[in-house]
Structures are given as C-alpha cells and as structure tokens.
Amino acid sequence: MAQGVDPLELRDLAVAVATLGADRMAARAGARDLRVVTKTTATDPVTEVDREVEDLIVSALVAARPGDGAVGEEGADRPSASGVRWLVDPIDGTVDFLYGIPGCNVSVAAEVEGTVVAGAVVDPLHGDAFAAAQGLGATRNGTPIACTTVADPALALIGTGFGYDPARRRRQAQVLVEVLPQVRDIRRVGAAAIDLCWVGCGRLDGYYERGLQVWDWAAGALVATEAGSVVGSVDGLNLPGGLPDACIVAAGPALFESLRTLVADAGAGRA
C-alpha cells in the first residue's frame, strides 16, 4: 500500500464526504422541478443534483487530501499524485432519486494502487450509512454487519438490476425467466451499491448484475466483502475491475458457488 495511507482515515473521509453529498441529494429527492437530461439512452437520466453532488464531494476530497486523484460518474477525472484515487458515484439509483424512492445513495470508494481499501455508501432516505475498510470489517451506522449463511438458492432472496439499453434489458429479462423460479424471490432496489451493501447486512442473500461501472460497485463490494460475503464475476474471475461488461455476483460463502453457477447457466454472463 502507498506509504502513509491509513484505510481507517480514508474510510472516515469517505463517510464524511458521502454524508455531505447525501444531505444535498435527500433535500431534492422526488422534487417535481428537477432539471433532467438523458445520457446513454432515453431512460438513463442525469439531473443537476448528480452534478452538484459530484462537485461538492470532489471539492471536499481535494481540500482534505490535495494529492489524491478522483474519478466520478459525471465527469470528474483528476490524476493522483499520492497513489490514492477516489471513485465517486454522486447518485447511485438516479431513477429512485427522481421518484423519491429510498435506496438512492451516494457511493464513495478509495483505491490505492488499484485496490479498493475503503468505502462508504450513504442511503439517506433509509437512514443508512454503510462503511468499510480493508481487513477491518463493515458497518451500518457504526454497528458491524454480517452476510447471511443461507446455502440453498431455493431459499435465497436475490437482488439484481437492469442496464439502460433496451437490447440488454431484453437479455436480462430472459435471464430472469430462468432465475426467478429457482430462488425465493427477486428484489430490484434500483441501486447497485445498495444491493451489495444489503448482501453485506443480510437484507439480501445474493446479488448479480451485468454491465456496472466501477463507481457503481467499488464501495458496495468492499462493504459486502468485509461483511463476510464473496464477491466475484460470474465466470469465476476476480472482481471485474476495468471490465464493465463482466457480470458481478455477490453472496455469503455458503451460497456463492451455487448462485454463480445458477446465474451463469441462465446466461447472466452474456446478458
């Protein structure tokens, strides 16, 4: 790890800046006068608040640690002189945010030399702040969390999500036709970071989704891992860092392999 980097210090800063952003987001969640434009497709929205929150967070990070780099979903791209790079999703679950649905969150992770070592996911409408530091466990509102011990996919509550591209959605719906009859039920919360944190705290037994960007999963995957879950890709490889087309799978250790096989057989790796 880069010299002088303390994962706990990075975690506490992640919580502080994510909370700052989440307060701004919560104040506007569900507002009817939000200015919205679309990004990749007509159903992929970005609002003025996504950009404001990203600016707020990046400015706070630069003020606290001027040598660090930062990459954000809405365009922040600051090189790192310190070896630390922040990954920022100013609003994960932008559609939930537009409608005022709890689950929209601010997700902030710190990466050191390519490894995520600290992260925070703040979901203000549920009143949840998840945080983790590498090797030091994961918490919800300061209390340690742990994933479930469910082993049988038939008894597992599984989260998933859908991309914005209609062709991808069709494939993801076809995967769901195969998965749904084989599990307890499916939840579509609308925010990948929350799906991962909920695997960590036992509100879900498992999760899979293809097509995420690194800022969607970086903090949530650390929370899930530090809470005892296994997080990997559907093809059995490590986390899909830099591979946005990989399908991420997360579950407790007793469930992970059977869930991975189940969703792979259903075609999730190609969806």
CB of 111 to ligand IPD, least distance (A): 18
CB of 8 to ligand IPD, least distance (A): 27
Helix, strand, coil fractions of the chain, as percent rounded to 5: 40, 25, 35
For residue 227, the one-letter residue type is A
| Residue closer to ligand IPD, measured from CB, 184 or 187 | 187
CB of 50 to Ca ion, least distance (A): 6
128 binds, among Ca ion, ligand IPD, none (CB under 5 to 8 A by kind): none
| Residue closer to ligand IPD, measured from CB, 162 or 256 | 162
CB of 94 to Ca ion, least distance (A): 5
How far apart CA 220 and CA 30 sit, in angstroms, is: 24
| Residue closer to ligand IPD, measured from CB, 90 or 267 | 90
| Residue closer to ligand IPD, measured from CB, 12 or 55 | 55
190 binds, among ligand IPD, Ca ion, none (CB under 5 to 8 A by kind): ligand IPD
Residue 73 interacting with Ca ion (CB under 5 A) = yes
230 binds, among Ca ion, ligand IPD, none (CB under 5 to 8 A by kind): none
CB of 219 to Ca ion, least distance (A): 12
DSSP secondary structure, 22-33, as one string? HHHHHHHTT-TT
128-133 and 185-187 beta bridge pairing: unpaired
CB of 132 to ligand IPD, least distance (A): 18
Q: Which of 248, 143, 265, 235 is nearest to 206 (CA)?
A: 248
93 binds, among Ca ion, ligand IPD, none (CB under 5 to 8 A by kind): ligand IPD
128-133 and 115-123 beta bridge pairing: antiparallel
Q: What are the residues binding ligand IPD (CB under 6 A)?
A: 89, 92-94, 161-163, 190-192, 209, 211-212, 216
Q: What angle do CA 133, 215, 31 make, to 5 degrees?
A: 110
How far apart CA 148 and CA 200 sit, in angstroms, is: 8
State the number of binding residues for Ca ion (CB under 5 A): 3
Task: List the structure tokens of 87.
Answer: 């990954």
- State the chain's maximal CA–CA distance in angstroms: 51
Cα–Cα distances (Å) from 117 to 9, 14, 188, in that order, read 11, 11, 27
- Which residue's CB atom is positioned nearest to ligand IPD? 161
- With b meaning 16 or more CB within 10 Å and e meaning fewer, what string describes 7-36? beebbebbbbbbbbbbebbbebbeeeeeee
| Residue closer to ligand IPD, measured from CB, 93 or 119 | 93
| Residue closer to Ca ion, measured from CB, 50 or 128 | 50
Task: List the structure tokens of 2.
Answer: 């880069």
List the x/- string, 83-102, binding to Ca ion by CB under 5 A: ------x-x-----------
191 binds, among ligand IPD, Ca ion, none (CB under 5 to 8 A by kind): ligand IPD
The residues binding Ca ion (CB under 5 A) are 73, 89, 91
